[in-house]
Amino acid sequence: MAISNAMVLAAGLGTRLRPITNTIPKPLVKIAGKPMIDYVLDLLMNAGVTRAAVNVHHFADQMEAHLAQRAAPEIVISDERNALMNSGGGLVKGLKLLADGPVLVMNADLFWIGEDTDAPSNLERLADFFDPERMDMALLCVRDEDTTGHNGKRDFSLGADGSLVRYAEGMDNPVVYAGAIALDSKLFADAPDDAFNLNIYFDRAIASGRLYGIVLDGHWMTVGTPEAIEEAEAAIRRYQPGG
């Protein structure tokens, strides 16, 4: 299916990136001259997203000023200045600014490069894979060897049919959660209005056999510390066309 709405989780404090994040929000930290959130928004735009809700908290005024400069996708702000809502609460609050139905969800500080430009993008593949009749959520996942900046932790074991369960030592086909989800907003019809962690819904979906995933094409990166910036920029240089 084509998914035109998205939610970008961008309200975190970025504490491990201090002292850089003492003066700017983490999503605006530049990697190879480009703010992290723009990598994310470009991926969404290129996948056909036309409207994206973005939550803000840390240096919210800077975030709003930066996002106002973008022509596409259309940005609507989910304001968390008064209280951080955690991943689940922030998502639920932001979804209220979007039309009901399917939505892509991304973290503002996790992105990838090096996709096959002659094939559907990772987000297009994820949207096509998502089947709300048998899935609560479809997650984009990545193999550890295709990451930069990751701590080596494996999140899930991916079944041959795409089903996901929490990874335990010795399981086959370990994958890392790549920070992108396809879901339907009706999943949160019973969700609380206060802060909660989205992992609650991951575990609920696993328990009912409704958490699925696909493997990312390309190279994924996370920038959690100042030292990781150079690692990410080196990866980008490796994957630039003709580089």
Give the number of residues written for the chain.
243
Q: pLDDT at position 243, please?
A: 42
Helices and strands in the chain: count of H runs, count of E runs: 6, 14
Q: Which of 101, 116, 109 is nearest to 49 (CA)?
A: 101
Q: Is the pLDDT of residue 226 over 90?
A: yes
What confidence category does residue 242 fall into, taking pLDDT thresholds of 50, 70 and 90?
A: very low
* Stretch 67-92: mean pLDDT: 94
DSSP state of 216: P
* Stretch 113-131: mean pLDDT: 95
Q: How far apart are CA 71 and CA 87, in angstroms?
A: 26
State the total domains in the chain. Answer: 1
Q: Which of 94, 95, 98 is nearest to 55 (CA)?
A: 94
* pTM for this model (two decimals): 0.94
Q: pLDDT at position 151, please?
A: 83
Domain housing 177 = 5-239
Give the CATH number of the domain where residue 60 resides.
Answer: 3.90.550.10
Q: How far apart are CA 168 and CA 154, in angstroms?
A: 8
Burial of 61 (0-12, 13-18, 19+ CB in 10 A): exposed
Q: Which of 136, 151, 122 is nearest to 223 (CA)?
A: 151
Q: Give the orientation angle of helix 60-67 with respect to helix 36-46, to 10 degrees.
A: 40
Query: Using one digit for the tens of pLDDT, what is the confidence trace for 31-57?
Result: 999 999 999 999 999 999 999 999 999
Q: pLDDT at position 241, please?
A: 56
